[in-house]
Amino acid sequence: MLFAATRLTLLRELGGEHFPETVFCTEAAELTEKGWERHLAHEKEGNPLTKEEQDLEDIKHAEALESRGTQGRSLTQGGKLALRTDGDIAAALETLGQGGRENLVQLRMDAKTETLQLASVSSAQPAQLAAAIDASEPRFSFYRYDDAEGSIVFVSTCPSIAKIKDRMLYAASRSNVVLLAQNEGGLKVAKRIEATNPEEITEGVLREEFKTASLEEKKNFAKPKRPGRK
């Protein structure tokens, strides 16, 4: 137990980058040429990973996606965002912006194919929005608020029950999805809200967002005070 507890400390002190391979053995006799060959063969087998090891692999994969913009799809091709999507998304977003009957469009990412999909199109009052957004998996939602301008709110939710890979994939794709809505859906996103669970998106939160915006506009466009007499 003492050796196991101090192994990583020793590696850090010596510089872990100097030791690309780690061999575990119980007998000195295992440190032979044949023992080394068995170690190499074992590494190539790709043994099943523990949950912790799999989570680490998922994190590495997701971090790689994030570092290069979800496999480079943050770049544009022919003036359009190169994000792998279902064909119905652009039409649904356009209808939302044009004031269609439904005011909520939910999108999801398929983790296996890394494709953005149209999950649902529905209607919800501000007080019903939290219940309307799916809480079983991450969602990108576009909501048309009931103010005079019909302002579009982008809501990103990622429940704590989601897998690490899914959470990283959504984080890496968030900006691309907003650009997609603006470029191909013709939406003008007025507000962006990020939350863990949909229940956090209450009517009060929405009201506060637009209340703050209204106060800022009044402050910015206030008439200058008349100069006083000397």
How far apart CA 204 and CA 190 sit, in angstroms, is: 17
Domain ranges of the chain: 73-219
pLDDT of residue 75: 35
Distance, first Cα to last Cα, the chain = 85
Q: Give, in order, the Cα–Cα distances in Å from 72 to each of 77, 167, 218.
A: 11, 18, 41
Tokens of 42: 């074992």
Neighbour count for residue 66 (Cβ, 10 Å): 14
Q: Is the pTM of this model over 0.75?
A: no
How far apart CA 164 and CA 196 sit, in angstroms, is: 13
Higher pLDDT, 201 or 211: 201
DSSP summary character for residue 108: E
pLDDT of residue 205: 92
Residue 181 burial (10 A CB sphere; 0-12, 13-18, 19+): buried
For 134-187, how does the pLDDT look when each residue is reduced to its tens digit (9 = 90+)?
A: 999 999 999 999 888 999 999 999 998 888 888 888 888 888 899 999 998 999
- Residue in 106, 115, 114, 113 with CA at minimum distance from that of residue 138: 106
CATH superfamily label, 73-219: Severin (3.40.20.10)
Q: 195: which strand partners? A: 157
How far apart CA 188 and CA 183 sit, in angstroms, is: 9
For the cut 50, the answer to whether the pLDDT of residue 206 exceeds it is: yes
For 85-129, how does the pLDDT look when each residue is reduced to its tens digit (9 = 90+)?
A: 877 899 999 999 999 899 999 999 988 888 899 999 999 999 999
Q: Decide if 168 contacts 158 (C-beta within 8 A).
A: no
